[in-house]
Amino acid sequence: MKLPIFMDNHSTTPMDPRVLEAMLPYFVEKFGNSASRNHAFGWEAEEAVENARKQIARTIHADSKEIVFTSGATESDNLAIKGVVEMYHEKGDHIITSSTEHRAVLDTCKALESKRGVKVTYLPVDKAGMVKPEDVRNAITDKTILITIMMANNEIGTINPIKDIGKIAKEKGILFHCDATQGVGKIPVDVQDMGIDLMSFSAHKLYGPKGVGALYVRKKAPRVRIAAQMDGGGHERGMRSGTLPVPLIVGFGKAVELCEQEMPTESKRLSAMRDRLQTAITSKLEEVYLNGHSTQRLPNNLNLSFAYVEGESLLMGLKEIALSSGSACTSATLEPSYVLRALGVGSDLAHSSIRFGLGRFNTDEEVDYTAKRIIEVVTKLREMSPLYEMAKEGIDLKSVQWAAH
């Protein structure tokens, strides 16, 4: 086993060597511009791009003409949301989203509120982090032009009832965008069955290269139109101009294909490792709480709060393992995760949370090592904690009068 261990696969994934192998010829040898229509170099590049487009479309049950390549999911989210707002402004100015979306969706909505006067409803989620379809239905007005709800959350792994939301959107004739960046490649995704009109995803979250992503744009029933956010040569059927990064797209296609082929075995292996990690930790430590849904969860996600322990201090003591804490250092203050706060997790437990993101290249040996080290460091930090000491002695911490500084 080699240190450090990478167990932060929701932030990015290592590229699969088979993906690199597929990409290599397209850097030097087959360097053509896929938009060059009148020579062999262009044709060769175009063929490679179209092949990748087919691989990706097939996996999500779309047509290859419905795939628009972008630089990643952030761009896809921006293009979908801003593109719909601009194209359908005469129909209405209201968007429905949820409070636990990725920043790429939330910040896009906030920018549209402040710069364009768009109205946005941020739906709450339940204790497990799920959006209730009935809340979506109740939020719809005659001005609603877009519903944007993520497939699976990047912090807690909770999977939303996308099919039910898609049904409501169809029934009401409203476009449905889904940020499926954590879903594609990890769980089965079918844009037809799920009633999705626009969908964002990204190669580097599924063992492909960084810097490429896609937006699925439905072509019929209904034919979705979006205003381009990038003007130029009219690539990608006018929706996203710019010379295509052929090697990255080839890698994206290969990565998606591998995920599809290996999903049945890989998701079983990952959820077994995840359960092994959770059991090892909770059998040795008390007051460990699971954040997110216990079953409707990504197979590779485990998000735990360790009471009386600061997540950041825990990570400081675990430098040889790459994990993520539920506190984000924003300027001078340590803000607890807005996702955990939206589930109703208190500020203390939100600050105590750790996200484990397992991936294709993690092993049982790494899982066992991680569990052992977590147990050691949490035990040590709790031994140094006066709050833990008091709680162990049976003192109700809520009854304590703290001296003001």
Ligand X SMILES: *Cc1c(COP(=O)(O)O)cnc(C)c1O
Cβ 179 to ligand X, closest distance in Å?
A: 5
Output the six-digit token pair for 174: 């409203």
Nearer to ligand X by Cβ, of 169 and 206: the residue is 206
Segment contacting ligand X (CB under 6 A): 33-41, 66-74, 276-284, 358-366?
Answer: 66-74
**Other CB atoms within 10 A of residue 38 CB:** 7
Closest CB to ligand X: residue number = 72
Output the six-digit token pair for 190: 């079918």
Contacts of 354 (CB under 8 A, 6+ apart): 303, 304, 305, 306, 311, 314, 315, 323, 324, 325, 326, 374
Is 337 an interacting residue with respect to ligand X (CB under 6 A)? no
Is 57 an interacting residue with respect to ligand X (CB under 6 A)? no
Cβ 157 to ligand X, closest distance in Å?
A: 11
Segment contacting ligand X (CB under 6 A): 69-77, 115-123, 245-253, 354-362?
Answer: 69-77
User: Are β-strands 301-306 and 144-148 bridged in parallel, bridged antiparallel, or unpaired?
Assistant: unpaired
Cβ 135 to ligand X, closest distance in Å?
A: 20
Strand ranges, E, within 89-174? 94-98, 119-123, 144-148
**Other CB atoms within 10 A of residue 252 CB:** 32
Is 112 an interacting residue with respect to ligand X (CB under 6 A)? no
Is 301 an interacting residue with respect to ligand X (CB under 6 A)? no
User: Are β-strands 213-217 and 175-179 bridged in parallel, bridged antiparallel, or unpaired?
Assistant: unpaired
**43: buried, middle or exposed (CB in 10 Å: 19+, 13-18, 0-12)?**
middle
Segment contacting ligand X (CB under 6 A): 71-79, 253-261, 292-300, 318-326?
Answer: 71-79
At residue 263's C-alpha, the angle toward residues 149 and 194, to 5°, is 30
Cβ 388 to ligand X, closest distance in Å?
A: 33
Is-catalytic flag, 329?
A: yes
Nearer to ligand X by Cβ, of 104 and 123: the residue is 104
Instruction: Confirm if 120 and 106 have CB atoms less than 8 A apart.
Output: no
Cβ 33 to ligand X, closest distance in Å?
A: 23
DSSP 152: B
Nearer to ligand X by Cβ, of 148 and 313: the residue is 148
Peptide bond into 222 cis (omega under 30): yes
Contacts of 126 (CB under 8 A, 6+ apart): 132, 343
User: Binder to ligand X among 73, 79, 96, 259 (CB under 6 A)?
Assistant: 73
Nearer to ligand X by Cβ, of 102 and 351: the residue is 102
Segment contacting ligand X (CB under 6 A): 49-57, 67-75, 297-305, 327-335?
Answer: 67-75
Nearer to ligand X by Cβ, of 182 and 352: the residue is 182
User: Are β-strands 94-98 and 144-148 bridged in parallel, bridged antiparallel, or unpaired?
Assistant: parallel
Is 104 an interacting residue with respect to ligand X (CB under 6 A)? yes
Nearer to ligand X by Cβ, of 249 and 288: the residue is 249
Strand ranges, E, within 228-352? 288-290, 301-306, 321-322, 324-325, 327-330, 333-336
At residue 151's C-alpha, the angle toward residues 19 and 223, to 5°, is 90
Helix (H) or strand (E) holding 204: none
User: Binder to ligand X among 102, 274, 297, 355 (CB under 6 A)?
Assistant: 102
Cβ 92 to ligand X, closest distance in Å?
A: 25
Q: Binding to ligand X (CB under 6 A): which residues in 175-194?
A: 179, 181-182
Nearer to ligand X by Cβ, of 80 and 377: the residue is 80
Q: Binding to ligand X (CB under 6 A): which residues in 192-211?
A: 202, 205
Catalytic residue selected from 109, 178, 259, 329: 329
Output the six-digit token pair for 34: 């896929």
Q: How far apart are CA 332 and CA 327, in angstroms?
A: 12
Q: Print the binding letters for residues 211-250 with ligand X: x by CB under 6 A, - otherwise.
A: --x-------------------------------------
Collapse the DSSP code of 55 into the 3-class scheme (helix H, G, I; strand E, B; otherwise coil) and give the result.
helix
Cβ 257 to ligand X, closest distance in Å?
A: 19
Contacts of 194 (CB under 8 A, 6+ apart): 162, 163, 166, 178
User: Binder to ligand X among 22, 34, 72, 81 (CB under 6 A)?
Assistant: 72
Cβ 13 to ligand X, closest distance in Å?
A: 10
Nearer to ligand X by Cβ, of 99 and 282: the residue is 99
Residues annotated as catalytic are 329
Task: Write out the residues near ligand X by the rule CB under 6 A.
Answer: 72-74, 102, 104, 150, 154, 179, 181-182, 202, 205, 213
